[in-house]
Chains A and B, each alone.
Chain A
Amino acid sequence: MSTLLKVEKISVTFDGFKAINNLSYSIEKSELKAIIGPNGAGKTTFMDIITGQTKPNEGKVLFGKREVWLESDQKYQTIWEENLLSKNESQIALLGIGRKFQRPTVFELKSVFENLTISLKKNRNPFNVLFQKISNEEYEKIEKILNEINLDIEKNRVAGELSHGQKQWLEIGMLLTQDPKLLLIDEPAAGMTVNERKKTVQILRKLSSDKSVIVVEHDMEFVKDLECEVTVLHEGKILAEGSIESVSSDKNVVEVYLGR
């Protein structure tokens, strides 16, 4: 396996408050990982850093590891294709990092179908966009994604009319039409019914068959159903890492979640 994203010793300070403190993290290709932690643990800030919205005071964020054979030295050398800290939000998105926000953010006035066409992986230059059409393959791709996110029958509805849970799915669908390599999913289960949660778990697990997915949640039950490696964040630092069972029996974690 090869590493897709590597975060090295990042720190962020907001007005003297250390939101992220010397944090290192990495994810492999086609891996599903979860991050949990109480409010204020730095989960959203962590995502802001990866997606370019916040620049850390220290540390590195690297994306897309590649091994290159060096003829001269007769050995493999590791090359990171991209340094995310030198890029802005839209450039990072184009590299294949899709982000779902905590509050579902879809284009409420547009139809489900239109929402998905906006994010299609295509030239994003305004002069090119002026003359873009939807090809048959793209129609099929959108249909396929609509199917994956359980919205095939809602295709022509205005997104604003969807339920809260459906909007969450639509937002995930919007990330999918742009063929991402890494998905950052912030609180997917918030405001969902039990049934919707189950479907969301299925969607996320299926996605991780060919994409890397980081799910941020503070709902332990949901994370348990994902059956993946869990990282517990607390006060901008990693408190524990491992399976949900080992993490939830960790003394420190119990104290943070239940104590105080």
Chain B
Amino acid sequence: MSNYISNIAHRHMLIFIIAISIFSLFVTFLSEPYGNGLISTSFVKTLGKTVCLCIIALAMDIVWGYCGILSLGHFAFFGLGGYMIGMWLMYERTSIIVIESSVSELLPLTETELSAAIGNQIFGVVGGYEIPAIWMFADNLLIQLFLVVAVPGVLAFIFGWLAFRSRVTGVYLSILTQAMTLALSLYLFQNDSGLRGNNGLSGLQNIPGLEYLGQQIISIWFFWISCIFLLIIFLIFYLLIHSKFGLIITSIRDNETRVRFLGYNVEIYKLFVFVLTAIVSSIAGALYYPQAGIINPAELAPIASIYLAVWVAIGGRGTLYGAMIGAATVSLFSSWFTGGQAPDISFGILNIEWVNWWTVLLGFGFVVITIFSENGLLGLVKKIFVSEK
């Protein structure tokens, strides 16, 4: 990209390409459909979802770790991505089911009957049968994929433009992003939002037209696609931060005023970074929810975006690697502890059930890591590694 990038940086990119290739091959050869079956299909899904969380953690690291904007709203974009792809998945699959079940009838369904049947199937749960206007492109995969990029992109642009233009910074900006997330989540909870209210969209794991493959194969395919996206986005971000652009945004993080007085339009740079990372978050969400199978407004709750910041802080911000380590570690531990697999500990009167105590452990871990290493887990590893030498 430019002579701002060093040879060491090129080596880092190569290492990452090799690492992600080995990891995905390793999982493939231990999976049920393509290997010896040591890794169950549900765990393949967990890994695939974790890879998606790594992608959004990368986005969070760029916007916060590199550009200094503590956005507590990026999970809203993640959720929006999920909704956009979920609309197509749900509509297409419902329409296939409706058409299949109508085969036995004497007359083929008319356009209106078909639409009413699909509407009833999808929106019956919120007491409707009409397909809302926002679903007008739901039968077109390409348009919905475009919306995965466009909807969060436009939302982030409008929000960012208003916020940055008014020079809202620091904790005030964080609060605004939380407000945006909360507003979006509350809106989606409404039954008349057109997205099935608190029921959300479900059955997303069934990919229309690919049902014959079975979940075993689909899960590993999604895992691969997620890995490919992680790789591409990592490389793009890596080149970005090692370009002059990276130099400018880290300078904005360190001293916004100085950059402004050097003639840079700081707001445009922030807006660029905010929109770019929102789009990446949305793509991550669009990959995540078909593997999760269901999305509802609770996914967009403000707390989710705070967790995102916690992952990046625990892993170590401003390094890209740290964000991924943080996201993977915390989310895997989280699903282990809250999944009921972790053995409960009993201290006589006090019985620690991890389902409830996990957040306590996470908070404790967060405090401990921040005390011992300001650069998170990655910083801790580096510290130990360097001191042993």
CA distance A160 to B24 in the complex (A): 42
* B2, A93: Cβ atoms closer than 8 Å: no
Contacts of B257 in A (CB 8 A): 101, 105
By secondary structure, the A interface counts as loop
CA distance A174 to B247 in the complex (A): 14
- Tell whether A51 pairs with B261 under 8 Å between CB atoms, given A110-B247, A114-B247, A117-B247: yes
Total count of chain B residues near the partner, CB < 8 A: 27
CA distance A22 to B259 in the complex (A): 31
A193 at the interface (CB under 8 A from B): no
CA distance A132 to B260 in the complex (A): 19
- Tell whether A107 pairs with B264 under 8 Å between CB atoms, given A118-B247, A131-B2: no
Contacts of B202 in A (CB 8 A): none
A208 at the interface (CB under 8 A from B): no
- Tell whether A93 pairs with B272 under 8 Å between CB atoms, given A117-B244, A118-B251: no
- For the A-B complex, the count of residue pairs with Cβ-Cβ distances under 8 Å equals 80
CA distance A13 to B247 in the complex (A): 38
* A133, B3: Cβ atoms closer than 8 Å: yes
* A90, B254: Cβ atoms closer than 8 Å: no
A6 at the interface (CB under 8 A from B): no
Within 8 A of B (CB), among A97-121: 98-99, 101, 105-110, 114, 117-119
A18 at the interface (CB under 8 A from B): no
Contacts of B240 in A (CB 8 A): 130
B373 at the interface (CB under 8 A from A): no
Per a CB cutoff under 8 Å, which of B248, B258, B266 touches A129?
B248
* A132, B244: Cβ atoms closer than 8 Å: yes
* B272, A178: Cβ atoms closer than 8 Å: no
Least CB distance from A108 to B in Å reads 7
Within 8 A of A (CB), among B1-22: 1-4
* A90, B3: Cβ atoms closer than 8 Å: no
* B268, A126: Cβ atoms closer than 8 Å: yes
Per a CB cutoff under 8 Å, which of B1, B245, B247, B258 touches A126?
B245
CA distance A256 to B141 in the complex (A): 77
Extra pairs beyond A118-B251, A130-B244, A132-B243 (17, CB < 8 Å): A90-B261, A90-B262, A90-B264, A90-B265, A93-B261, A94-B263, A101-B258, A105-B258, A107-B254, A107-B258, A109-B250, A109-B254, A124-B264, A124-B265, A130-B240, A131-B243, A134-B4
Ordered by A's residue number, 19 sampled pairs between the chains whose C-beta atoms are within 8 Å are A90-B263, A90-B265, A90-B266, A91-B263, A94-B263, A99-B261, A101-B261, A110-B247, A118-B244, A119-B263, A124-B263, A126-B268, A129-B244, A129-B245, A132-B2, A134-B2, A134-B3, A134-B4, A174-B262
